[in-house]
Amino acid sequence: MSIAVVYGSTTGMTEEAASKIASILQADCLNVAEVSPEQLAGYDALILGSSTWGAGDLQDDWDAFLPKLEGMDLKGKKVAVFGTGDHEGFADTFGLALVKLREAAADAGATLIGEAPVEGYDNIDSAVAADGKFVGLALDSQNQPELTDARIEAWCGVLKSALA
């Protein structure tokens, strides 16, 4: 199965997470600013990552690519989302970029995978979480850097099962 981890990163935190995920999954790691829909169409699974900015905005490079993602035919492809943010300072918008990526993939016909537990986060009041689960892997490397690697490892285990 061919897998692409596609990320948008401004400060490097999402890029670092993408690199770790790609290494564990033996996937290609691609910057969204440098890919085309045609290139992504060749993969069986896409792992999409973005940091969340401001009032729940996507990372800038994703802003430009999102309309292209929405126009893709993702039927038959498995898609998971991950991202970085600040859950302490922005509990009401934490991870909203993940929601936007996941909705775009769903609208394009993808099979969605990769929910993650909310355990270890306080006061999440954002649409990224429902029924005790995040829509994907939500990382707070700013406030909880010591938990990032273990969260990535655990999530990749979930993805491996879903991708088998």
* C-alpha span between 123 and 3 (Å, rounded): 33
Q: Measured at the alpha carbon of residue 82, what is the angle toward residues 41 and 127, in degrees to the nearest 5?
A: 115
Q: Give the strands of the sheet with 129-130, arranged side by side.
A: 116-117, 133-134, 129-130
* C-alpha span between 83 and 158 (Å, rounded): 16
pLDDT of residue 154: 95
pLDDT of residue 59: 93
pLDDT of residue 126: 82
The answer to whether residues 33 and 8 touch, using CB atoms and an 8 Å cutoff, is yes
The answer to whether residues 134 and 95 touch, using CB atoms and an 8 Å cutoff, is yes
Q: What residue has token string 């302490």? A: 88
Query: The domain spanning residue 80 has which CATH number?
Result: 3.40.50.360
pLDDT of residue 81: 97
Task: Give the count of domains, the chain.
Answer: 1
The answer to whether residues 96 and 127 touch, using CB atoms and an 8 Å cutoff, is yes
The answer to whether residues 118 and 134 touch, using CB atoms and an 8 Å cutoff, is yes
**Structural domain range at position 91:** 3-163
Per-residue pLDDT of the chain (164 residues; tens, 9 = 90+): 899 999 999 888 999 999 999 999 999 999 999 999 999 999 999 999 999 988 888 999 999 999 999 999 999 999 999 999 888 878 788 889 999 999 999 999 999 999 998 888 877 878 888 888 899 999 998 889 999 999 999 999 999 999 98
pLDDT of residue 120: 84
Structure tokens, 120: 């270890």
